[in-house]
Amino acid sequence: MKANDLVAMRLNWGLTQDSLADRLGLPRQSYVEMEAGERPLKKSHLLALEEIGIDLCLIKKDISMLIPEVRSAINYLAELSVEHATPMLHVEAVEGRAWAAAQSKLQ
């Protein structure tokens, strides 16, 4: 994940640098350095970002809250499900245009 992807995700999530740094268990300065590309993103940070994205997706019922890697995995599973004609992934119908678009890809 690139630094500009990290900034875009944070802005999409509506979080401040302080709040995302706190959720990642980092000092604000360390997080700012990650956004600037001066500090590498560790696997533990990526896992925490995935968890935050899933939480926000469920709370806001908006699939755009997921980080791109998770959205790609969901799309891949949806394609496998279509190819094999067996339901491998079920998502309850909820309100929201982004969620509805994702839901239609799964069917």
What is the reported pTM? Answer: 0.64
pLDDT computed for residue 33 by the predictor? 96
Question: pLDDT band at residue 75, thresholds of 50, 70 and 90?
Answer: confident
pLDDT computed for residue 85 by the predictor? 55
Place of tokens 């709040």: 19
Domain 3-106 has CATH 1.10.260: yes
**Which DSSP symbol is given to 41?**
P
Please state the domain extents for the chain: 3-106
**Which DSSP symbol is given to 64?**
G
pLDDT computed for residue 92 by the predictor? 45
Q: What does the block give as tokens for 82?
A: 């279509």
**Which DSSP symbol is given to 94?**
-
